[in-house]
Amino acid sequence: MSDETVALGNAGRVVRAANEAGRAALVGYLPAGYPTLGGGIDAIKAMVDGGADVLEIGLPYSDPVMDGPTIQRAAEIALAGGLRIRDVLTTIEQVAAYSDVPVLIMTYWNPIERYGVDRFAADFAAAGGAGLITPDLIPDEGAEWIAAADKHDLDKVFLVSPSSSDARIAMTTANCRGFVYATAVMGVTGTRDQASDLAAPLVARTKATTKIPVGVGLGVSNADQAAEVATFADAVIVGSALVKAAGNGAADVRTLTESLSEGVRREPTAPAAR
């Protein structure tokens, strides 16, 4: 297996397959346990049925400082319903058994540290998980996670932002496996009326440092925005819009995912830059 194949990891190989088919991949986010444990599992399966290429499952946390109000509220509901890490792992198990779509967890670092880093990596891999997205863990403080991820063949998705220096981007991408998460806007998550004009330059700066895919998240809420971001990103990441849909049930999640899936498959009006 080549070094590049290893760096692509579980999710990256799926993203690259979509790119080779002439389109961006669709990464769909929903938190575990929302609106209920069973309802959350159904909603995540609906993203699979709607055409999501990669799944991003949120691990609800009591202090979600980087999340917007929609995701914060969903996390509050999940935690109020008694959700625990064991329930998140059960969600992973059921979704992984349902399809071959890679399942990543988006999580703040404190719950993983409290659970035990290697223990979590082992349990998560055993449940069928593909890797972690860690928004508040930077690679230079993540040696324990990097070692555990390498041991259990898990993706390590770190974040870059418009404020990241070129040196910081290079260091971050060197430690990623799967894909690089480019936060397209400054501030907390949430849907927006239009994609940030900071996104394309950030993707270009990131791609200058790595051969693994670059996904863009924060703000995409409809097919037109997905189509726009798909002209320059390898993967389009959608969160808050899908969480809003999940509040109405799995059928709404599938409908929105199908629309977003159509968006990333559109013929671009401008040449793709991947």
Question: Alpha-carbon distance 44 to 242, whole Å?
Answer: 10
- Give the active site residue among 42, 53, 67, 234: 67
Question: What would the pLDDT profile of 8-21 be if each residue is shown by its tens digit?
Answer: 999 999 999 999 99
Q: Are 214 and 235 in contact (CB under 8 A)?
A: yes
Half-sphere exposure (Cβ direction) of 158: Cα atoms closer than 13 Å: 23
DSSP letter at 267? P
pLDDT recorded at residue 273: 54
List CB contacts of 173: < 8 A, sequence separation 6 or more. Answer: 160, 180, 206, 209, 210, 212
List CB contacts of 223: < 8 A, sequence separation 6 or more. Answer: 259, 260, 262, 263, 266
pLDDT recorded at residue 271: 46
* Backbone dihedral angles phi then psi of residue 183, each to the nearest 5 degrees: -80, 115
Q: Are 182 and 188 in contact (CB under 8 A)?
A: no
CA dist 205 → 18, 198, 232, 233 (Å): 22, 11, 12, 12
List CB contacts of 71: < 8 A, sequence separation 6 or more. Answer: 31, 58, 64, 189, 190, 239, 240, 243
Question: In which element (H, E) is residue 55 found?
Answer: strand 54-58
The fraction of the chain above a pLDDT of 90, given in percent, is 81
pLDDT recorded at residue 214: 98
Angle between helices 199-207 and 166-174 (to 10 degrees): 60
- Give the active site residue among 3, 42, 53, 56: 56
First CA to last CA distance, the chain = 24
Is there a catalytic annotation at residue 197? no
Helix (H, G, I), strand (E, B) or coil at 140: helix
Cα four-point dihedral sign 193, 226, 233, 107: positive
- Bond into 35 cis (ω within 30): yes
pLDDT recorded at residue 187: 45
Q: Specify the pTM.
A: 0.92
Question: In which element (H, E) is residue 152 found?
Answer: helix 143-152
Walking along the chain (274 residues) 10 residues at a time, the average pLDDT comes out as 71 97 97 96 98 97 72 87 96 98 97 97 98 96 98 97 96 97 64 64 97 91 94 96 96 98 84 52
Is there a catalytic annotation at residue 123? no
List CB contacts of 132: < 8 A, sequence separation 6 or more. Answer: 104, 105, 106, 107, 112, 124, 145, 149, 154, 155, 156, 157
